[in-house]
Structure 1
Amino acid sequence: MSPPPSNAVPAGDPDLRVQALHWLTECDPVAKVAGVRALWASVAAARAEERPIGLDSEAILVPPSDRPLPGRPPRPRLIPPGSVPPRSPFTPEGHAALVHAICHIEFNAINLALDAVWRFSGMPVAFYADWLRVAAEEAEHFTLLREHLRALPHPAGGHWDYGDFDAHDGLWTMCEKTAGDIVARMALVPRTLEARGLDATPLIQAKLRRAGTPAARAACEILDIILRDEVGHVAIGNHWYRWLCERAGLDPVAHYRTLARTYQAPRPKPPFNDAARRRAGFTDEELAYLEQAVG
């Protein structure tokens, strides 16, 4: 694990949400990962020792004017989703492109989790701790994938790195669309877009196993870790979505249909990983809705 950067506590402010916003607007991936890990370690230690956490859950925070939201490096170049070329794991460059695509998803996922922490006020302490833990685990996933990518030889010499392939911004686009509605955010980011990873990961692993190379086997092992953790992340989304629906007197399944139409969520794509989705808390009624909604 990399040591935390010297500015791990921005401007000396110990508030959890202020720090989450700081690391969200950090562009350097190495600094972002180290800062998020250090922040989660301090919060986890405080909770384990039953010490208070610096947190003003009622504060209305404003992003800094001199830092981007979200913070990310100048590369990869972001292009429309439909313009991203297919990625095959059966050639060295195709394998690198596939790993890069997943690496980009995990980098975005760090930002998505941090955004939930700073943006939404008035939630229980557990909400902020949950999403900070998710951010730290996504940081670990990003690091594993980036290290794997940097071990792959580049045809021009040297090795690949994050930023070497074009990528798209679909995850963050939904984050922006749901910025004013915490119920929609919980419904359409963790339990819709991120839940698609539960379905896609076994299919990607099957292709990698067919490729059969040492690099493919190493990537499969990383994806095992990611799939295990992502079940937990989607479960957190399910928990807080239902908690919010109960607080507002909403039926979770019926309201989800409304949110999916309102925010133009992507249609679900089979095959669905029912076992993983059940572990993440999806009900029989919700799984049946997925099958009906396929288009």
Structure 2
Amino acid sequence: MELRQRALEVLCLTDAEEKSAAALALQAQAASISIAIDATPTPTQALPGHPARPELLQHTALARRSPATPGGRAVLIHAIAHIEFNAINLALDALWRFAGMPRQFYLDWLQVAGEEARHFRLLRDHLRQHLGHDYGDFPAHQGLWSMCEKTAHDITARMALVPRTLEARGLDATPQIQRKLRNAGTADALAAVEILDIILREEVGHVAIGNHWYGWLCARDGLEPVAHYAQLVQRYEAPRPKPPLNTAARRAAGFSEAELQWLEQGEGPQGASLQ
């Protein structure tokens, strides 16, 4: 088995259970798997493979419900599960799409794919066991994958705008979600808080991987990371983080103090703007 070809095959799978299990199985073979670094496989179908449900809508069409109610918690956990399912696809796409990187790049994204698959399965099991629902029961959106498509031709933009922008927003949002669930106070809500503790801890590592490879690519190509990031944000219309930032988690994931100041205030070194 060769990693990048197999990653593309798993990306094409449409069954959520099968895809998450295959991603975990692939991660389990990390120590011995071969990697064709310089040869890129060819997709034979539209990407990514996804199940018939959930129905995919524009994010503005999705209803918001309070996590104070069981139905609202089901919608919330389903939305997070969908993010984690998309994150499996994002990691698999980075694996197969970008040739010519060091072996560790592919091993890092293989680790991410496996951990995202575990997150998805934890949340799906929670929906089934505690809330009487399953993945696919509520509509969802494809915002994460849209940025994946826009950056398909540019690995530096991908590292900048998927892990260290879109996924980093999860570092900021998770503590606020956990507070709302603690306020609900029910057994299912508190169990969800514990799952989110696991996810937050591992997502710090995923954002750190994105930060590392973004910095590596900028150094390789002679780019100033903060200034180039500002250009990429504007070029691809990437969203700004919504305050409050989880500065402790972002520091642990490798964001510099200068960049944290810039993200919070909208302007940083050399006048680089996020507006």
**Band of TM-score, shorter chain:** over 0.9
Q: Matches of 1:164 and 1:121 in 2, distance apart?
A: 37
| Matching residue's letter, 1:28 | D
Q: Matches of 2:29 and 2:59 in 1, distance apart?
A: 37
Q: Matches of 2:114 and 2:65 in 1, distance apart?
A: 27
Q: Matches of 1:95 and 1:214 in 2, distance apart?
A: 12
What is the Cα deviation at residue 123 of structure 1? 0.3
The answer to whether structure 1 residue 213 and structure 2 residue 200 are counterparts is no
- Structure-to-structure mapping, 1:258-269, within 5 angstroms: 258-269=231-242
What is the Cα deviation at residue 163 of structure 1? 0.5
The answer to whether structure 1 residue 125 and structure 2 residue 112 are counterparts is no
Identity %: 64
Contact in 1 for aligned 2:4/2:40 (Cα 8 Å): no
| Matching residue's letter, 1:60 | T
What is the Cα deviation at residue 60 of structure 1? 2.4
- Structure-to-structure mapping, 1:169-208, within 5 angstroms: 169-208=142-181
* Equivalent of residue 85 in structure 1, options 43, 49, 63: 63
For 1:42, the equivalent position in structure 2 comes to 29
For 2:94, the equivalent position in structure 1 comes to 116
Aligned pairs, how many?
A: 268
Deviates more, 1:111-120 or 1:83-92: 83-92
| Matching residue's letter, 1:96 | A
The runs of 5 or more residues in structure 2 that have no matched partner are 267-273
Structure 1 stretches (4+) deviating beyond 3 angstroms? Answer: none
For 2:220, the equivalent position in structure 1 comes to 247
Q: Matches of 1:56 and 1:151 in 2, distance apart?
A: 41
Q: Matches of 2:122 and 2:21 in 1, distance apart?
A: 13
What is the Cα deviation at residue 15 of structure 1? 1.0
Q: Matches of 2:64 and 2:154 in 1, distance apart?
A: 33
The runs of 5 or more residues in structure 1 that have no matched partner are 1-13, 47-52, 154-158
- Structure-to-structure mapping, 1:269-284, within 5 angstroms: 269-284=242-257
The answer to whether structure 1 residue 152 and structure 2 residue 130 are counterparts is yes
For 2:17, the equivalent position in structure 1 comes to 30
The answer to whether structure 1 residue 57 and structure 2 residue 40 are counterparts is no
TM (norm. structure 1) is 0.89
Contact in 1 for aligned 2:15/2:51 (Cα 8 Å): yes
The answer to whether structure 1 residue 102 and structure 2 residue 75 are counterparts is no
Show CA shifts across 1:194-214 (max 9, x none).
Answer: 000000000000000000000
What is the Cα deviation at residue 87 of structure 1? 3.0
1:60 partner SS: coil
Q: Matches of 1:239 and 1:194 in 2, distance apart?
A: 14
For 1:20, the equivalent position in structure 2 comes to 7
**RMSD over aligned Cα atoms:** 1.0
What is the Cα deviation at residue 73 of structure 1? 0.5
- Structure-to-structure mapping, 1:228-243, within 5 angstroms: 228-243=201-216
What is the Cα deviation at residue 219 of structure 1? 0.3
- Structure-to-structure mapping, 1:66-81, within 5 angstroms: 68-81=46-59
| Matching residue's letter, 1:236 | I
What is the Cα deviation at residue 55 of structure 1? 1.2
Q: Matches of 1:275 and 1:40 in 2, distance apart?
A: 28
| Matching residue's letter, 2:64 | P
2:29 partner SS: helix
What is the Cα deviation at residue 267 of structure 1? 1.8
What is the Cα deviation at residue 248 of structure 1? 0.2
| Matching residue's letter, 2:34 | G
For 2:265, the equivalent position in structure 1 comes to 292
* Equivalent of residue 226 in structure 1, options 192, 199, 212: 199
Contact in 1 for aligned 2:181/2:190 (Cα 8 Å): yes
Q: Matches of 2:223 and 2:5 in 1, distance apart?
A: 31
